[in-house]
């Protein structure tokens, strides 16, 4: 197990800067590139069908495998669209759960993480959602059960070409495109040149970045005329939520009240270090951090074994842990701050300019 963990750590490092292990895996990346090219060609020639829906579709995704901050961005997008007169709905795959042949759907308090998955259950608190590996089926289910929906947000749907889309938004973080290689020699699902064809590129980073030239684009995309509109995003802590009681408290007050507490932090997300960094930047002194795989299903015994006065987790993790009998559990909610104040207005204008379906 330790040897496997060391190998994984080495590969993750080489996904950023390259190395012998990445070089050895490069022939497999050529296969990935071929598969991507064949798929794109089949859809481009119409040999595989792209399905259009009666409402506009905004796809939010990434080309870097793992977490880049899509969920808080989608929550912000939902709020912004609603403020501008749209009624958004969401479709997602439903990672971490077995969906079965029929799509599942939910909204608000009736959305269960056990049935929909952790991220969909969290997103459903903001807008109706339907989940299925076939995003088109999910979208049709969404429109059937929530007919007031006027725009669909496809969460993590950038590579799902069967679903027609009107706007594409890619989210990246400070890791950018890593070593620029496709899986498994690198972290990319598609070639970095894919970012030339999207509408917006949002860079999620702890530090303020210029949207004109974020680090991820030192080399990509090459064609300046084809570059998407670039925006930087910083995740700001907004409140802590006590899972047992539902009580909320501002980060500054929470920190002041628990200065002497032994605090542990857990994260079962795509990139756990980002959560731990957010806590550090908020002035929270964490004595123990535990990183779990994305969509990790926590158990009561697992959390009980953590030797700490308080346990902090992400809102995504909290969606699966609200019924846990542990008074120590707190979730941190974050909200993005954007470098471009007109960003969402631009998206709304683009939606208005679309032809009537």
Work out the average pLDDT over 81-96.
95
How far apart CA 89 and CA 91 sit, in angstroms, is: 7
Residue numbering of the annotated binding site: 64-71
pLDDT band at 211 (very low <50, low <70, confident <90, very high): very low
Higher pLDDT, 4 or 99: 99
What is the model's pLDDT at position 237? 96
pLDDT band at 109 (very low <50, low <70, confident <90, very high): confident
Is residue 151 within a helix (H) or strand (E), and if so which, with residue range? Answer: strand 151-155
Instruction: Evaluate whether 315 touches 331 at the Cβ level (below 8 Å).
Output: yes
Percent of the chain residues past pLDDT 90, beyond the cut: 82
Least confident of 21-35, 36-50, 221-235, 321-335: 221-235
Strands 329-338 and 310-314: parallel
Least confident of 203-217, 237-251, 289-303: 203-217
Residue numbering of the annotated binding site for ATP: 64-71
* CA-wise closest residue to 351 among 144, 159, 80: 80
* CA-wise closest residue to 142 among 157, 134, 131: 131
What is the model's pLDDT at position 20? 95
Work out the average pLDDT over 60-80.
95
Domains 57-234+338-352 and 236-336 share a fold: yes
Q: Is the pLDDT reported for residue 357 higher than 70?
A: no
How far apart CA 279 and CA 9 sit, in angstroms, is: 23
> Six-digit token pair at 329?
């559990």
Q: How confident is the model over 239-270, as pLDDT tens digits?
A: 999 999 999 999 999 999 999 999 999 999 98
Compute the mean pLDDT over every residue in the chain, rounded to the nearest whole number.
Answer: 92
* CA-wise closest residue to 70 among 120, 129, 12: 120
Domain ranges of the chain: 57-234+338-352, 236-336
What is the model's pLDDT at position 105? 98
What is the model's pLDDT at position 12? 87
The answer, as to whether pTM is greater than 0.85, is yes
Q: Is the pLDDT reported for residue 3 higher than 70?
A: no
Work out the average pLDDT over 97-104.
93
What is the model's pLDDT at position 95? 83
HSE-CB of 245 using CA atoms within 13 angstroms: 9
pLDDT band at 5 (very low <50, low <70, confident <90, very high): low
For 262, the 3-state DSSP assignment is coil
pLDDT band at 217 (very low <50, low <70, confident <90, very high): very low
What is the model's pLDDT at position 226? 56
CATH class belonging to 236-336: alpha beta
CATH 2.60.120 given to domain 57-234+338-352: no
What secondary structure letter does DSSP report for 64?
B
DSSP 154-193: EET-TT-TTB--SEEEEEEETTTTTTSPBTTTSSBSS-GG
Angle between helix axes 343-352 and 70-83 (nearest 10 degrees) is: 60
Tally DSSP H helices, then E strands, for the chain.
Answer: 11, 13
Q: Is the pLDDT reported for residue 283 higher than 70?
A: yes
How far apart CA 198 and CA 214 sit, in angstroms, is: 16
């Amino acid at each position: 197990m330790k040897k496997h963990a060391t190998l994984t750590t080495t590969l993750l490092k080489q996904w950023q800067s390259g190395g012998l292990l990445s070089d050895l895996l490069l022939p497999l990346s050529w296969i990935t590139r071929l598969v991507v090219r064949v798929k794109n060609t089949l859809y481009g020639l119409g040999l595989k069908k792209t399905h259009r829906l009666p409402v506009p579709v905004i796809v939010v995704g990434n080309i870097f495998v793992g977490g880049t901050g899509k969920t808080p961005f989608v929550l912000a997008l939902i709020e912004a669209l609603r403020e501008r007169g749209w009624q958004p709905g969401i479709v997602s795959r439903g990672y971490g759960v077995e969906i079965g042949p029929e799509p599942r759907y939910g909204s608000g308090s009736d959305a269960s993480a056990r049935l929909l998955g952790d991220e969909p259950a969290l997103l459903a608190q903001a807008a109706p959602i339907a989940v299925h590996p076939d995003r088109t089926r999910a979208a049709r289910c969404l429109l059937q059960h929530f007919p007031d929906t006027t725009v669909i947000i496809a969460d993590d749907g950038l590579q799902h070409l069967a679903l027609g889309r009107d706007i594409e938004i890619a989210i990246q973080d400070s890791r950018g495109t890593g070593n620029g290689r496709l899986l498994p020699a690198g972290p990319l699902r598609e070639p970095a040149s894919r970012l030339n064809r999207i509408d917006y590129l949002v860079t999620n980073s702890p530090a303020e970045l210029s949207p004109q030239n974020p680090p991820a684009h030192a080399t990509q995309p090459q064609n300046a005329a084809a570059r998407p509109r670039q925006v930087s995003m910083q995740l700001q802590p907004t409140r802590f939520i006590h899972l047992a009681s539902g009580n909320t408290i501002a980060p500054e007050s929470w920190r002041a009240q628990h200065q002497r507490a032994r605090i542990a932090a857990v994260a079962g997300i795509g990139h756990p270090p980002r959560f731990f960094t957010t806590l550090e930047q908020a002035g929270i002194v964490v004595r123990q951090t535990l990183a779990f795989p994305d969509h990790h299903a926590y158990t009561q015994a697992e959390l009980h074994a953590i030797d700490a006065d308080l346990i902090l987790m992400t809102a995504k993790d909290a969606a699966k842990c609200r019924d846990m009998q542990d008074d120590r559990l707190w979730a941190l909610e974050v909200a993005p701050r954007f470098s471009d104040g007109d960003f969402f207005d631009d998206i709304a204008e683009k939606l208005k300019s679309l032809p009537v379906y």
